[in-house]
Amino acid sequence: PELMVLRPFLAARLDGINLKILFRAKRDLVPLSEIMPHLILGGEILDGPLKIFDEVDEIGALIASIEWSPFYHPLTDAFPEYEKTGSLAILEKVVDETVLKVGRDTAIKFPYGIAPVAGYLALRETELRNIRAIARLKEVGMPPDKIRELVLVV
């Protein structure tokens, strides 16, 4: 029962990983049969994109298939920028930020127990990834404004 409060957050993490795999596969024209072994079952949104994956040609259709999920609105807001740049980093950043938001919301809804600890650990993990990314990007001479665009907002 204690772990059931983490279900939304854990499902969002799995969904986030799966969405990034699906987006990359769709961009690279990889058929569903080749990516199925890499998808992780247990999330909440996989059914919609899987049903249409081989039938559609663009990532926008995959996003439309999850309109009831917490990922839908942030992804549709970011989609025009993706279309303009062609960079999946924009959509992947939004997916990661949505996962963190679900974790934060879960910790707020269930303040006593394991949810705040899980949310805290996820935020720290993200902070460490950001620090590593900033260090690598500074090392290659990327301008600060571009770095700000790439790090996750926690």
Average pLDDT over residues 38-67: 92
- pLDDT tens digit string along 77-104? 999 999 999 999 999 999 999 999 999 9
Burial tier of 99 (Cβ tally within 10 Å: 0-12, 13-18, 19+) = buried
What confidence score (pLDDT) does residue 19 get? Answer: 97
User: Which segment, 43-52, 69-78, 135-144, is predicted with the most confidence on average?
Assistant: 69-78
Question: What was the pLDDT predicted at 146?
Answer: 84
What residue spans of 4-71 are helical by DSSP H?
7-27, 32-35, 47-52, 59-64
Predicted confidence (pLDDT) at residue 74 exceeds the cutoff of 80? yes
Question: Higher pLDDT residue, 150 or 122?
Answer: 122
Query: Would you state the pLDDT for residue 1?
Result: 63
Instruction: State the pLDDT confidence band at 154, using cuts at 50, 70 and 90.
Output: low
| Gap between the Cα atoms of 105 and 115, Å rounded | 9
Whole-number Cα distances in Å, 152 to 42, 78, 130? 25, 14, 7
What is the crossing angle of helices 88-109 and 7-27, to 10°? 170
pLDDT computed for residue 72 by the predictor: 97
The owner of tokens 């990034």 is 20
pLDDT for the residue 130? 87
pLDDT value of residue 129: 87
- Check residue 4 and give its pLDDT: 85
